[in-house]
Structure 1
C-alpha cells in the first residue's frame, strides 16, 4: 500500500523531542516503522515536512538554534524528505494578565505582549494533501498513492481530512499523533473521526532507536549533529 506522509514540523518538535535528547530524530525511519506496525502492508513512498524558520532573536540559543534547525533539515532532505517553509509573524498584542492558575483571566486587566504565530503551514499541508489525492486519478493504478498519513494533532486539519474522505473514499487516511510517551495529551476526536486509523503516542524506545548517525552524508558537506543536542 503506497503511502505518503505529511508532517507538521512544529507539532513534531514540541510534541516529541523538545526538552529531550532525541532531537536528531530519523523521521523517515520512525515513520516507516510506525506505519508498518499500524498497517503492515504499508510502503512509505513520500514524506513532506512543513515548518518555519527559527527566529534567532527569539530563540533560546540565538543563532545556534537556527543553525541547528538548518542542519537537521539538511539531514532530512538528504534522506529524501521534501521540506516546505512557512513563516513566523511577530506582532504586538494585548492579552489578559496571568496572576495564577486559580485566577480567571480578565478582559479588564490586559498587558502588552509580542505574539509569535506560525503562518501558512496548516493551509499548505491541507492543500498539499488534497492536491495529491486529486492527482492520483490520472495515474496508472500501480503508481497511485493508496494511503495518506498526517503527522499532527492540530484539529485545524479536520476539514481537510473530511474532504479527502468524502471526495476520495478509496484512499486510506491515517493519523500519527506526535505525542511522546508519558505526556498527558487529549486525543483530538475530530481527527480520529475522519481517519481510518490513529497512532496515539510514540514511545521513548521508538524515539531512542530511530536516531540519525552523528554525521549524515549530503550532496555537499555532511549534516553533523549539533553538539548541544
Structure 2
C-alpha cells in the first residue's frame, strides 16, 4: 500500500523524545520500520512534518534549543521529509490559581500568567491530510495513495480522521502514537476508533537503533548532532 505519513512534531517530541538521549531520531527509518512490521507490502511515499519554531527566550537552553531544532529540521529535509511551520503565540492572560490537587480550580481565584500557544500546525496538518485524500480521486491508478498514517496522540485530530473514514471509505487510516515504552499513558480512544490499525508505543530499542549518523549530509554544510543531545 502506498502510504503517506503526517507527523505532529510537537506531539512527537514531548510524547516520545523529551528527556531521552534519542532526540537525533531518524524519523524516516523509524516510520518505515513500523510500516514494514504492520504491513510488509506497504511503501512510504511521503512524510509531512508539522511543527512550530522554538522561542529561545522560553526554551530551557535558550538559543541552543533553537539551533538544535533548526539543525534537526535540516537533517529531516535532507532525508526527504517535507517540513511545515506554524507559530507560537505568547500573550498575557489569567488562569485559576493552583493551590493543591485537592482544591478545585475557581474563577474567583485567578492569577496573571503568560499563555504560550502553538498556532496553525494542527489545522494545517488536518487540512493537508484531507486535501491529499481529495486529490486521489483524479490521480493515475499507479500513483494513488492507499493509506494515510497519522503520528500523533492529539485527540484534536479525531474529527479529521473521522471525516476521512466517512468521505473516503477506500482509504486506509493508521495511527502511530508517539508513546515511549515504560511510560504508562491511556490510549486516546477517539483516535483509535477512527483507525484501521494502531501502533501504541515505540520501544527504547527502536529509538536506539533508528538514529541519524552524527553528521547528515545536506546540500550545504552537514547537519551535525547537537552536542547536548
- TM-score, structure 1 normalization: 0.98
Aligned length: 229
Q: Deviations over 1:175-205 (max 9, x none)?
A: 0000011112111111111110011111101
Q: Secondary structure at the match of 1:101?
A: coil
Q: Secondary structure at the match of 1:227?
A: coil
Partner of residue 219, structure 1: 219
Partner of residue 49, structure 2: 49
Cα-Cα RMSD: 0.7
Distance 1:173 1:221 in 2: 37
Partner of residue 89, structure 1: 89
Q: Does 1:109 align with 2:109?
A: yes
Partner of residue 4, structure 1: 4
Q: Which runs of 4+ in 1 moved over 6 A?
A: none
Partner of residue 167, structure 1: 167
Q: Secondary structure at the match of 1:84?
A: strand
**Residues 124-203 of structure 1: matches in 2 within 5 Å?**
124-203=124-203
**Residues 22-101 of structure 1: matches in 2 within 5 Å?**
22-101=22-101
Distance 1:110 1:183 in 2: 32
- TM-score, structure 2 normalization: 0.98
Task: Note the residue ranges of structure 2 that are not aligned, 5 or more in a row.
Answer: none
Task: Note the residue ranges of structure 1 that are not aligned, 5 or more in a row.
Answer: none
